[in-house]
Amino acid sequence: MTSRNPRDSRLRLVRPRPLAAAPRAVTQRRSRRPAPRPPEGTPAPSELARMARAGLAGAARVARWADAALRPGRDGATPDDRGTLSAATAERAAAELGLTPAQVCADWDTARLAGLIEVHGNSARPGWRLRAWNRDDSAVLRGWVALFDAWSLAYPEPAGREPAAVAEVVSAMPQVLSFLQLSAGPVDMAQLLDLLEQRVSELRTERCEIPYGPRPEPAAETEVADTPLAPLLDWALRALASVGALTFADGQATLTPLGSWAVWVKLEQICVAAQSPAGNIEQPAEDMLRGCAQLRPNAARAEYRAWLAARPVGSAVTELLNAARGEDALLRGLAFEALRVVGAPAEPDVRAVSDETPLRPYALLWLAEHEGHDPEDVHEVLTREEATWLWVDTAAAVADHGEAPLLVRHLESAVQPTVPALLDEVRAVGHPRTVQVLVALAAAHPDPALAKAVRRAAFQVHTGGS
């Protein structure tokens, strides 16, 4: 079975990114608007970067020590996959840096949250931000914003508090921070507590749905509802102060210039997304991704950033991965595009799903990119079977959402050197959409001989023949 145009050269796999980027007749172009200016009185980016470098000096120092002192194969992190320093390494660093082991561990954790150190499995290595720390202000500011986003991890929460109540406070704090930013000055804790209680009440009301399964124990619900929020607000403000986002003393909180700038950036991202026709900022992940399918890559990434800015990063990553597990292959590819915008905070969750067959090729490509592989060679991390699975999955996305010529062009992205080899391996890979993909390809391809071969392969998969 051969085509009239034989495919003798080895064809390389292209990852699913071109699917989202392919020009479409229904693609909507967003009108350009002038670059927004930060509020009056906001320091220049260079001054903000200077503040961030000062606040992260200890973390950068420990990261540089690790870069110089730890080499591959040495015990740089504990084998618990959490990237914490081993006791021996912390003591060694403390002795060489003139610190206590506790200070070293605290600076190490800060460096991880800021992306100065990247943890992969049970090993750690310097992040790209450390390499650019002295010369790239934008890298420094992005590192500080990553730490700001992870404020709830940077400072231990109060012991014995109801986890659900802690999660509610974390979800409500963006509104509290927005109020602080708009106030542009000290705000009493009593006023912030009133705002927090209102927002938490709204969150509880939004979750009030008609239960279809067994109802939770009333006592448990009452315990969460009756949890006093003042201690949790105190914890949140102290945690934000620990990362340099605000100052908190004498019952008053005030955003620092860095904190005010970061909140303004996130509010601006939300406002940009709110102007889109689909209103993606308010949508769940699946609907947001469907809305972004109509956008060109740069506009889609702007939507992803804004959508992420409006949510705690942990819940956003979980929501994106749940959307990726659905039946729509296009959403699977777009979900991992959104996870590329998340970056390092998504790594543990992406690594955790790399054993799930439908998500494995996407997860392996994401992890390879995150670990610094050359984009041109990143496909080499996939086995032949994984690459074939991804080819079928991507073809399913094209068949469902694309046009016939795009599906025909997708044929040229297969790793197999010939069409017969491709069909043999597609039949063997066991993708649930194999028959539909082959039928659609046969209908779209202009070469009668090739179309006939593809139809025969589809029939064989359908009937279980060989």
Question: Which phi-psi region, left, alpha or beta, contains residue 385 (left: φ > 0; alpha: ψ -120 to 50)?
Answer: alpha
Give the pTM. Answer: 0.60
> What is the per-residue pLDDT for 462?
67
> What is the per-residue pLDDT for 121?
57
> What is the per-residue pLDDT for 254?
94
Q: Which helix (H) or strand (E) covers residue 291, if one does?
A: helix 285-292
> What is the per-residue pLDDT for 427?
81
> What is the per-residue pLDDT for 295?
81
> What is the per-residue pLDDT for 16?
38
Three-class DSSP labels, 345-378:
HHHHHHHHCCCCCCCHHHHHHHHHHHCCCCCCCH
SS3 label, residue 210: coil
> What is the per-residue pLDDT for 73?
43
> What is the per-residue pLDDT for 144?
93
Q: Where are the beta strands (DSSP E) in 210-251?
A: 246-249
Q: How far apart are CA 303 and CA 337, in angstroms?
A: 11
DSSP string, 258-279: HHHHHHHHHHHHHHHHHTSTT-
Q: Which residues of the chain have pLDDT under 50?
A: 1-33, 73-81, 209-215, 218-221, 466
Question: Which phi-psi region, left, alpha or beta, contains residue 464 (left: φ > 0; alpha: ψ -120 to 50)?
Answer: left
Using CA atoms, how far residue 138 sits from 6, 48, 227, 248, in Å, is 49, 10, 40, 27
> What is the per-residue pLDDT for 359?
93
